[in-house]
Amino acid sequence: MKAIYPGTFDPITLGHMDLIKRALNIFDQIIIAVAENKIKHPCFSLKERVNLIKEVFADDKRIDVIGFNGLLANLVRQQNCNVVLRGLRVISDFEHEFQLTNVNRALNPEMETVFLTPDEHFASVSSKIIREIASLGGDVTQFVHPKVEKALKKKFAI
Ligand code: COA
């Protein structure tokens, strides 16, 4: 059974990776679907985000990485995969996720969303916080894969 894990991943964090590791105990294959998400004005381009995740999971054949710029409800149909994976870090995530799930269900009634919680060490981590730390020259090694750290250093020319 496969699941789609959508997100902006600007950039992917160890929190996301922890969630994926847990999901692989349940699903045989995970499709990481990177949303273009122009509303968020991502720091890394869609191509950069997709390539970075491909590099990070290069040795794991259970992971596919794709980019998309339409509705998640349509992507799910195109990929012939009705299960979407999302993470819940803290209680405040729930309200937003509840709304997303209900809207997605209205757009595509076949779709089901499965929630997992990452390790509590990553409960306060977000891509935005990591970008901020990296842009100010801080150490992000405990939050991101070394390849992501390298990409952040290059992006912010540290
Ligand atoms: N570890 C670390 N950080 C995590 C995390 C985890 N396990 N889980 C979530 N996060 C972070 C993300 O990095 C992100 O941080 P940021 O805001 O600093 O970038 C934040 O928590 C979650 O942001 P959110 O906006 O809820 O989700 P997202 O950006 O990851 O993805 C999409 C949102 C892509 C799923 C959603 O916008 C989408 O489906 N877009 C497609 C268009 C569409 O269908 N729209 C209608 C949907 S109703």
For residue 122 the two structure tokens come to 């990553």
Name the residue with tokens 């894969």.
145
Atom of ligand 1 nearest to the CA of 13: 2
| pLDDT above 70 (res 158) | no
Buried b (16+ CB within 10 A) or exposed e, 12-33: bbbbbbbbbebbeeebeebbbb
Question: What digits encode the pLDDT tens for the residues 14-40?
Answer: 999 999 999 999 999 999 999 999 999
Catalytic site residue 40?
yes
Helices (H) and strands (E) in the chain, counts: 6, 5
Task: Give 110's DSSP letter.
Answer: T
Q: What is the DSSP string of 39-57?
A: GG--SS-HHHHHHHHHHHT
Report the SS3 class of residue 103.
Answer: helix
Instruction: Indicate whether this model's pTM tops 0.75.
Output: yes
Q: Would residue 62 show up in a list of annotated catalytic residues for this protein? A: no
pLDDT digits 0-9 by tens, 59-110: 999 999 999 999 999 999 999 999 999 999 998 889 999 999 999 999 999 9
Percent of the chain having pLDDT more than 90?
95
Secondary structure class of 105 (helix, strand, coil): helix
Pocket test residue of 65, 72, 119 for ligand 1, highest count of atoms within 8 A of CB: 72
Per-residue pLDDT at 13 exceeds 90: yes
What's the whole-number mean pLDDT along residues 4-8?
A: 98
Return d(Cα 149, Cα 134) in angstroms, integer: 8
